Amino acid sequence: MKPVVAFCLLLLLGHSFTAHAQQTTIGTLPPVITESSGLENFTGNDSLLWSHNDSGGQPDVYLFSLNGQLLQTIHVSNSANVDWEDLAQDYGQHLYIGDFGNNANNRTDLKILKIPLEGLPDTVAAEVIAYYYPDQTAFPPAGNSGRNFDMEAFFYHNDTLYLFSKNVFSLTNPGTGYTKMYALPATPGNYAAQLLDSLSTFFPVTAADISPSGKAAVLLCYTRMYVLYNFSGNQFLNGQHRLYNIQPIFPPKQTEAIAFKDCASVYITAEDGDLLVYDFSADFPPPIVQTGSSHVTICAGDTAQLFAWGGNSYAWQPQTGLILPQTAAPFAHPAQTTLYTCAAFNEIGCTDTAQVLVTVENCPDATPLTCKIWLEGAYQTGMPTMNTYLNSAGLLPLTQPFNRPPWNYNGPEGLSAPFVLPPEAVDWVLIEVRNTTSQTVVSRRAALLLNNGFVQDATQILQGTANPQTLLYGLNSGQNYYVAVQTRNHLAVNSSNALQLAPGTIVDFTLPQNVQSGEKALKFLGAAWAACAGDGNIDGVISFEDFNKYITGAGASGIYSDLDFNYDGMVNIADYQLYQNNVSRIGVPAIRH
């Protein structure tokens, strides 16, 4: 049994403790475990644990249930228990027994025993990982200041064993109070332990473990416990840490074994036979992952960007067809329809999941069309640009708003998350391609109007395409069409001529000569021509009916409204003035509702 050292200089070292933890005694150990000094989970059953006795005990490891029932004993036939101090495991294949206790700092036979778990044998011959510390040259070192080669804590991670020295603090010996972290391969052999790092813990480290996700680790220090998190790779000591009290502080429990129960709680054994659960989840709220959409449809060969938020880090599966799968916003280009699962983690690896189905369709060829239009009210004279208030205020919807009368357009155009909206977006518009003879609609597509007047397809935004265009489907490359633009509250505009819509075609509705009825269909704003505001009931005529509708919404603010003619999120006198200045204007005859 190891002596417990009482420390009282906590405040001098500036450590702070959290009150957001819960300690519960859930049972007692089997009587055969008289001095528990190592602890590990039984893979596949959360209610079973492995442990062993401290120095001088039988060379046995014990499997027991949470109610203290002994279930299995594995005897190590080829090694004595010189000073067994901790347990580690590699995903249920092997247990590693740390025979490296070294109170006197004089051992030259340090080793870790590797035993198989397959079939839960009664007796095994251990493979030996023998090692030494290259920075220890005397056994023991002279004086107390250099005696930091007692080891009671380690864990397994990614084929490597990480060891943490006990680091007993002494006021009279400078340089004490640091745990040193060493690394060893998890394969039998004879090695020089690699010194990687150190951390001032003040309290002696008596056990360690790493969380199932590998995103957090714990160092047990008798009546204290460090939670290490937000580290990179194997830099466990270079991230953040929190320090917790293990009760009672005095007289202290002699706690020398720890194992993660789940992402935010641990099992701890005390040498008086108690089995504890220590829960620190209140300090690390679990993530609640959200995705921009649960279903995305793309054309074969296209790419869509997926979005998630609510976590500190992310992992998407399967990784097939994904670029940057370890980020919140990977790019998906699967060859076939694929269901992706996003796992979001908080700082210590607690996780939540959400799924996104990416449906891959064989789509007809798209015809890209470049359109430009100014909207009165949104247009800022002298800039020249349009305001983006609806966007910056979070009022602009992520999906197209024309799926209602009078348009009744049920297209799926939309974006998956607010932060995907380009900051230049002003509002949604509806692009229509019309037959030259009958003016019937041949193809429609909702897209985002940018503040520079150009219209960009949502698909292009998701793909990161810089050149704003609208993608139209079902067109005959050898045929001419009229092109029209509808908005939520401006008179629609139609092209003055039928056009052959080859790739690269530009329809500039800011020039009267390109618009049916020319200057009569637009409003001159001093330096630019814009679509006329004030069609609140969207019937193609600005009349007293629009005033009647305006009255029903006047005074509203912080809304996305068809009566907000200047796009500032409010319905007020400024919108009335825009309506009043355009009373009696009549839109394109073919586009009246």
Strand locations in 16-93 (E) = 22-28, 36-42, 45-53, 60-65, 70-76, 84-89
Helix count (H) and strand count (E) of the chain?
A: 5, 44
Q: Which domain holds residue 58?
A: 10-283
Query: Roughly how many angstroms between the first and final C-alpha of the chain, as a whole number?
Result: 89
* Shared domain check, 457 and 540: yes
SS3 content of the chain, % helix, strand, coil (to 5): 10, 40, 50
379-408 mean pLDDT: 95
Per residue in 483-504, pLDDT (tens digit) is: 999 999 999 999 999 999 888 7
Task: Tell me if 5 is assigned to some domain.
Answer: no
Taking the CA atoms of 172, 175, 179 and 184 in sequence, report the sign of the dihedral they define. Answer: negative
Q: Does the pLDDT at position 12 exceed 70? A: no
- DSSP, res 93: S
- Whether residue 2 lies inside any domain: the answer is no
Asked if pLDDT for residue 14 goes beyond 80, the answer is: no
Beta strands 366-372; 506-508: pairing state: parallel
Can you give the CATH number for the domain in which 34 is found?
A: 2.120.10
Mean pLDDT value across residues 181-200:
97
Classify residue 324 as left (phi > 0), alpha (psi -120 to 50) or beta.
left
Mean pLDDT over 574-580 rounds to 98
pLDDT in tens, 119-154: 999 999 999 999 999 999 999 988 766 678 999 999
Task: Please give the structure tokens belonging to residue 177.
Answer: 């109070």
352 and 377 share one domain: no
Peptide linkage before 384 cis (omega within 30 of 0): yes
In this structure, the answer to whether residues 348 and 209 fall within a common structural domain is no
Q: What is the mean pLDDT of residues 72-86?
A: 97
What pLDDT score was predicted for residue 388? 98
> Of 361, 386, 408, which one is at a domain's C-terminal end?
361
Final residue of a structural domain among 338, 361, 384: 361
**Domain count along the chain:** 3
The pLDDT > 70 percentage for the chain reads 95
> In this predicted structure, what is the pLDDT of residue 30?
97
Regarding whether 356 and 261 lie in a shared domain, the answer is no
SS3 204: coil
**CATH number where 355 lies:** 2.60.40.10
> Taking the CB of residue 326, how many other CB atoms lie within 10 A of it?
11
DSSP state of 512: G
Q: CATH number, domain at 388?
A: 2.60.40.4130
Last residue of a domain, which of 261, 283, 305? 283
Which residues, other chains included, contact 368 with Cβ-Cβ below 8 Å and sequence gap of 6+? 469, 470, 471, 472, 503, 504
- Do 254 and 387 lie in one domain? The reply is no
